[in-house]
Structure 1
């Protein structure tokens, strides 16, 4: 029964935020997950809290934008690729088991994990799984609005934030 309504929610776009000057705006994100593996309970806790806030704000009449985002910069994803490239069999077996949660064919799962020596293959595989899993949970996210920390427009946004905060005197240079 839940799947029927979840499909209805996402196909009708009830969680999509479109410009609407008649309602106050509310933007929410939660800490973006690294996607070097499948979602775990910590992701569930974090996104559920964000989802509760987003739903509450919608009930209060706000036009809520709750996008999905992924953290892909830094070392975790590259570390997975490096471990596989160095022939870490134990880690490869763990990843294969994780991939087999989504792919029922062991040969296909092994092929997918072999491709994880390229970090982009890790990102692309698990990004899609996070989205599918979050939809299955029923999160009230606008899945049309997705970004990753490596996207050029995201980097521009971060630069804009620093310039804006610096111009208001909110940033100071410390000793580090």
Structure 2
């Protein structure tokens, strides 16, 4: 597990602000998140190197719009504060557990994150992670690549 340092904080705040700004787009939250998951920007964010990004939120939104275009598809938009927290938490977990954002979003669906927002957003991020793991009947081992590999080997038997 990696320490949440200044670099991690910058990336988490940037991603939180990016998600928050998505509320101003014409598309729904679901469409934005789907596009974000397949964007070149996410690949750069998952490198966890803030020096390789401009950290300008408008630039980030524009890069996603340039890559996928604009649309008015979808109606449901989450609140700006919930979107900020969801974006921040995804980056926090990705950074500290050294996992891809796609993997984290498979574990903790954005709908679930929105559902727990009001109860969780004032809590410590580590408490939130433990609670999310508990809700989903998972353990910290899910973030350990070697533990996942051992589990697959156990499930498939000997070679």
What is the TM-score when the length of structure 1 is the normalising length?
A: 0.27
Greater share of helix: 2
Greater share of strand: 1
